[in-house]
Structures are given as structure tokens and as C-alpha cells.
Chains A and B, each alone.
Chain A
Amino acid sequence: MTEQIIGLLGQGIWETLYMVLVSALFSYVIGIPLGVLVFVTDQNGICRNRVLNLLIGGVINFIRSIPFLILLVLILPFTRLIVGTTIGSTATIVPLVVAAAPYVARMVESSLKEVDSGVVEAAQAMGASRMQIILNVMLPEAKPSLLVGATISLATILGYSAMAGFVGGGGLGAIATNYGYYRYNTEVMLITVLLLVIIVQIFQEGGLRLVRRIDKRIK
């Protein structure tokens, strides 16, 4: 393996981390409010609203049912509009966010579902407003579960980012495509796969350790 390839892999790791982490950040910025909205507008929620609930739920399901590669191609004009280009890591962030935000919204929703409804009721009995309940009860009480969800979301986004490498995205996925698929360099391809596996492991392990540290329900 040449020095050049090692350098390339190093850059691939950086690009991948950059794409995944920035996408995850934006996905959460969009996904948390969406997830909260679907949760609280539900039939048993604290801001019951059937129309809004069906609407948001519908949009989430619609986007989630489109295969990622197709979604990526479909929104190319949108991507160009936002970042000015459709290739490279920064351009990949746009479809990654579009695909991951609805996924994150469902993750957030399911974490909020785990929050004991009795605690929400206690807060209502204390005179808390809906906003106070969301910000001071639901989200803080769901924190460990939200973090578990985040580790799963990161792994999913990482998978998407590797797929994006096939169609002009950057990072390890692009290296695997260029060397393994087009130049039949199996060695490089296997190494990129191994690197991807290691990154997933680190996310997963790190996340779970953090959860164990912050979850006050254990011990």
C-alpha cells in the first residue's frame, strides 16, 4: 500500500466524519422539533391536533419510504441551490440531512414515548405550561434514550454517506467506489469497509458509555 493511498484514506476518514457529524447536527436541529411535534399532537398528547399530526407524520413517512440513492438524485437541483454544487462532501450533507431528519424525528418520538406519562401529569398538576413540560420534563427525562437513538442515527447516516460515495459524494464511500469498484483494488475496498466498521463501533460504544454515565435510573 502506497503512502499516497494512506494519505487518501486519512482524508477519507476526515471527510466521512465531517459529513456524518455535520449532517447529524442538522438532522437533529430539524428532527427534534419534528419528533416533539408528532409526539405532542398525537391523540394522547398534550397538544392534541389531528390535522397537524397526520400532516407531519405523512411527510415523515413519505420521505422515509424513498430509497436514499433515489432521494439523493431527486433533490440534486435543491442541493445545487443550497451549496452551489452536487459533488463532494459538503454537497452530500444536503441529501443526508433530508433523509436523516425524518428518521431522527421518529427516533425522538419513540424516545419521548418512553417518558413516564405520570411525570408529565405531575408537571401539569403543578401548573406547568405545555412548553415548560416539553423543555423541562419530556426532553430531559428522555435524554438517555435520545442518546441511544443518536448512536443508532449516526450509524445510519454513516451508511447513507458511504452510499453517496457512489454518486459523487466524498469520504470513505467514494474511495471504496473508486478503488474497489472501478479499479478492482479489493485491498483498498476492504480497508475502507474495515474503517467504516471501526467508526460505527466507536460511535456505538462511546454513545452507550455516555448513556450509562448520565442515566440516573440505573444503580
Chain B
Amino acid sequence: MEKEHIIRLEHVSKQFLSRNTDILAVSNINLEIKRGEVFGIIGFSGAGKSTLVRCINLLERPSDGAVYFDDTNLMDVSERTLRDTRLKMGMIFQQFNLLAQKNVLDNICFPLKIAGMKKEKRIKRARQLLELVDLTDKERAYPAQLSGGQKQRVAIARALATNPEVLLCDEATSALDPITTKSILELLKKINQEYGVTIVIITHEMQVAEQICDRIAVMSQGEIVEMGAVKDVFLNPQSETARKLILPDNQFDAEGIAKRVIRIAFDGQSSSDPIISQLTLHSGEMINILGANTENIGGKAYGQMLIQCPESAEALEKIRQYLTEQGIHFEEGGTIS
């Protein structure tokens, strides 16, 4: 029987020695990533996410700890074995990192060439991958001629060329617009579900984690401050960092209108539905439900809900007043400064 987890980090730390100060970018991380899951690592910029993910394939050698892939401690293996193991871990990046002087087909063939596959075979394989990422008409194009989303699709095809068991994604959608982000996330989801590839996603955007991850770890200052099923963390964040990520200071919708995110906790009020209707009536504003995890037990609601409403002092005051009257616990995202 196969082991449940494919990657295991034990007491992993990474210290950077710079001129004046030593930076502990990753501090004593323990983590198990299960075979076949989509695991998210989320945190603000500088939290140590990239360093942590680079410790998984030893692009960054941890200063301390053990990194197990399939129960082999990569810290102990030879350089040769490490390189062979990397064939089983594809990686994609925020800046795509495609070979600028090579066309799409050659970019996808590249890891196969590195692995020593014959030319005809690798072209055949690359064409299959182009089909998977829906770019068959672009095989002769150069990266400079592609959009960001297309470049990331090429990068995904390239990362999957050697049939890896794991795909590491470092801010893979952070340079893309929301619509392209959605399509890339859908592609990743498909790769996870149809091919069983374990996916590790690094992001600073909660929406990304929420859309695709099964479990997430929240990182702050090199440490994991919270970990759990994405729904649980999203709807009931325990750490300050998770709360700030979920209830961001300010948000603007597609029309550039400021939005406020509010988290509502139900612990046995009558029912969740009438409350949202009442909020809409009271504030006279459209209220958007971002996510909900409520259960009705005997006509009473338990759980949490994330809602979004336009940033208007008047409407917000009415919402606050109503929720307080009803004795409902709520939290708000920060104000716009």
C-alpha cells in the first residue's frame, strides 16, 4: 500500500546569512503533504513561502531539518539522486521562467531533453501536453508572442513533461488578471483530479487558496501559524495573519467600488437565510456572499459566513446595528485609509 503522504518536512529551517543580520526565513517547519491533495501555503509577502517551497525540491538547501520525498530524506542523497528526484517534482513560477529564445514546443521538450529522451519521443510527448493545456495552435510561437496566461500554460505543460508526481507552484497566478487566474486554477484542478498529481500552491491571495486547495498552511515570519482544511481556515480563522488575509484592509470590485468584507458567526440564531435578507433590507445595499459554512440544526444556524458589501458608512452602520441587535457576532475587514 502506498504511504498516505508524499512529502514530509521535519524541523526545517532556513537561515540566510547576510552582511549585517541573519534572516531566519523559514523556522522549524513540520509539514506533511498527502498524496493527491492540493495543499496551499498562504501568507503575506516576505513570510517565507517561496523559501519553504524551494526547500521541498532543495533549490534552497535547508540549514536544518529533514525533507522527505516518498520517505527518502533528500538532505542525505547524492546530487545525482537529487536531480533524478527533481524529475518527479515539476515547478512553476510567478514569472513563468520560459526559455525566451526557444519556441513553445522546444520549451516543453526541454526537460525531456535534459532527461535524455529521444527527439521524436519528446516531440510526441510535448504535443500531448500542448493538447492538455489547450495551446496546440501555438507550438511554433515564442514566449514573447504569448499572453501571461498562455505563458503559464506552457510552463505548466513543461513542468508536467516528465510525468511528475508533485507540482510546486510559487505564486503561479500572481502576475495574472482574475479571469486568467481562474482558468489557470481550473487547469491545475483538472491536472490534480485527472492525473492525480499532488499540487503545492504558494499564494498571498486567499481567493486562490479558497478556489483550489484542500488544506492550507498559513505562514507568518517563517512559521506556520495555522493549518487545516481550507473551509475551516477560511470561515473560522484562528490566527491574526489568517484573519488579515481573509478580511483584507480594502478591496475593490470590478467597477472599482470599494468593498468591505465581514465575517458573521452564527451560534444558534434562528436561521441564516432571513438574516441576510434582513441585512439587505436594512442597509439598502446588495450583499454578496463570499463563502458560507452553516448548518441548520432544528431551525437554528451554526457556523460562519463571509459577506461583502459596498463601502458606505451609512450602510455599514445599519448592518452593524442590525447584527448587534440580533446578538450576532461579527468581524470586519479594515477601513480604507
Footprint of B on A, CB under 8 Å? 116, 118-119, 121-129, 132, 136-137, 140-141, 143-144, 214-219
Contact = CB atoms under 8 A, between A and B. Distances in A.
Contact of A118 (B57, B87, B93): B93
B87 A140 contact: no
B101 A141 contact: yes
Interface in B122-170: 142-145, 155, 158, 162, 168
14 contacts: A116-B97, A119-B97, A119-B98, A121-B97, A123-B110, A123-B114, A125-B59, A126-B111, A127-B83, A136-B110, A140-B99, A143-B101, A216-B100, A218-B144
A140 B101 contact: yes
A124 B95 CA distance: 16
B95 A118 contact: yes
B89 interface: yes
Given A127-B115, A128-B83, A129-B83, A122 B97 contact: yes
B261 interface: no
Q: A interface, by DSSP: helix, strand, loop or mixed?
A: helix
Contact of A125 (B89, B100, B103, B113): B89
Given A121-B97, A216-B102, 19 more contacts: A118-B95, A119-B97, A121-B93, A122-B97, A123-B110, A123-B114, A126-B87, A127-B83, A127-B84, A127-B87, A127-B114, A128-B114, A129-B83, A136-B114, A141-B99, A141-B100, A215-B101, A216-B142, A217-B142
B243 interface: no
Interface in B166-189: 168
B244 interface: no
Contacts of B91: 122, 125-126
Contacts of A119: 97-100
Contact of B86 (A125, A141, A216, A217): A125
A173 B93 CA distance: 54
Nearest to A132: B114
A215 B155 CA distance: 20
Nearest to B113: A136
Contact of B100 (A124, A132, A136, A217): A217
A124 B87 CA distance: 10
